[in-house]
Amino acid sequence: MHEFDYKETPRKLLTPEVVNMLTRLHELKGKQDLFIEAEPDVLSSLLEIAKIQSTKASNRIEGIWTSDERLEAIVKDKSQPRNRSEEEISGYRDVLSTIHESYEYIMPRPNNILQLHRDLYSFSSGIAGGSYKNSDNVIAETDEDGKSKARFIPVPAFQTADAMQTLCSEFIDALEEGTYDPLVLIPMFVLDFLCIHPFNDGNGRMSRLLTLLLLYRAGYIVGKYISIEMLIEKSKETYYEVLKDSSTEWHNSTNDYMPFVKYCLGIALKGYNEFEDRVEYLHHRNISKADRVRAVFDHKVGRITKADIASFCPDISQTTIERSLSELLKESYIEKSGKSRGTYYTKKD
């Protein structure tokens, strides 16, 4: 079985590039605390939209869909699920809320992970939520000819409970020793969790929920206000590439955690940068809503969609955004390209 080494392996990951990323994240964490103290009203707006984006993105990565209208109603707890996809979306919503509200009291121990998985499937019938897999599973991929083949073979079912117990124990011990930055240990834990693949279903979503839980417990709560899951979805091709690179030779304990660690740190940095930008936009709510839409084009380079504007200004209605865009088009301040859902806008030179 894989050796869960959280004592020597992390030291090999502390390259100058990784140390620079860690230093920057420490600085951003300090700013995060200042924002939380100074901008409670601003952050409440970000919190609501991040919940919707996180639930949508993490489920969509796994091919679980519903309409935007239904998803928003489910996340806001105004509607009961109507089908299996909506049942799983409802379960994700509940576990996400549990982590947001109680992360300080949820240690990454097997029994807690099992309980979170149980809640993930609390609306679903016929799925063994809260139990480890009862048969061996395979992570497959499709080649260029359209044929499915095994990309990775996880830990056998009969070894899963022992593997999860060892993983959690070694990780907690390393955190308590305090030798290495939690930001290095957390991606290692998540990769090991994915390589164990402890459940029949829901491993990907659980890995993202555990990522949030561990980041929050380490003091990095940007995922409450900026959807980490959405950032992963936007870069999911890279996500799968680094996951493949870092899981190669995992069973022999000679795998390279570096690609996955760097990817996770990069996602965290991206989250904090967006956090600062959105707090800045919301902070200036005393100017008109039309001017705030204009400011999005002044600060952001390249293509901008209605969804981008709604993310930066979640308190501005879709109708107001469309009206502001029409005015900017009349002024020739921006130009419109694409059609239907592919429509985007760019600032004119």
25 and 159 assigned to the same domain: yes
Residue 4 counted as domain residue = no
172/163 Cα distance (integer angstroms): 14
Q: Report pLDDT for 48.
A: 86
* Total of domains in the chain: 2
Name residues whose C-beta falls within 8 Å of residue 111's C-beta, 6 or more positions apart in sequence: none
Residue 34 has pLDDT above 90, yes or no: no
Q: In percent, how much of the chain has pLDDT > 70?
A: 96
Residue 134 counted as domain residue = yes
The two most distant CA atoms of the chain are separated, in Å, by 67
80 and 190 assigned to the same domain: yes
Task: Of 77-91, 229-243, 328-342, give the range with the top mean pLDDT.
Answer: 229-243
Q: Report pLDDT for 42.
A: 67
191 and 331 assigned to the same domain: no
258 and 302 assigned to the same domain: no
Q: Report pLDDT for 114.
A: 98
319 and 175 assigned to the same domain: no
Higher pLDDT, 318 or 227: 227
Name residues whose C-beta falls within 8 Å of residue 310's C-beta, 6 or more positions apart in sequence: 49, 316, 318, 321
Q: Report pLDDT for 276.
A: 85
Mean pLDDT for 25-39 is 83
Q: What are 42-80's pLDDT values in tens digits?
A: 688 788 889 999 999 999 999 998 998 999 899 988 889
53/31 Cα distance (integer angstroms): 23
Residue 1 counted as domain residue = no
Residue 3 counted as domain residue = no
DSSP secondary structure code for residue 221 in this structure: -
Residue 266 has pLDDT above 70, yes or no: yes
87 and 184 assigned to the same domain: yes
Q: Report pLDDT for 282.
A: 66
Residue 35 counted as domain residue = yes
Q: Which amino acid appears at position 276 of this protein?
A: E
Strand partners, 139: 152
Mean pLDDT for 115-119 is 98
**To the nearest 5 percent, what fractions of the chain are helix, strand and coil?**
65, 5, 30
- End of a domain among 266, 281, 296? 281
Q: 5-9, 156-160, 244-248, 303-307: which has the minimum mean pLDDT?
A: 303-307
333 and 272 assigned to the same domain: no
Q: In percent, how much of the chain has pLDDT > 90?
A: 72
240 and 263 assigned to the same domain: yes
Q: What are 280-317's pLDDT values in tens digits?
A: 766 666 678 888 888 888 878 889 999 888 877 777 88
Residue 2 counted as domain residue = no
120/258 Cα distance (integer angstroms): 30
Q: What is the pTM of this model?
A: 0.87
Residue ranges making up the domain that contains 113: 9-281
| Beta carbons of 163 and 196 less than 8 angstroms apart | yes
CATH code where residue 165 lies: 1.10.3290.10
Residue 192 counted as domain residue = yes
342 and 206 assigned to the same domain: no
Q: Report pLDDT for 145.
A: 74
- End of a domain among 237, 252, 281? 281
331 and 214 assigned to the same domain: no
Strand partners, 347: 334
How far, in Å, are 31, 175, 220, 239, 323 from residue 265 at the CA level?
Answer: 17, 18, 12, 12, 38
250 and 310 assigned to the same domain: no
Q: Report pLDDT for 126.
A: 74
CATH code where residue 314 lies: 1.10.10.10
294 and 248 assigned to the same domain: no
Residue 155 counted as domain residue = yes
Q: What are 143-193's pLDDT values in tens digits?
A: 677 778 888 999 999 999 999 999 999 999 999 999 999 999 999 999 999
- End of a domain among 281, 310, 329? 281
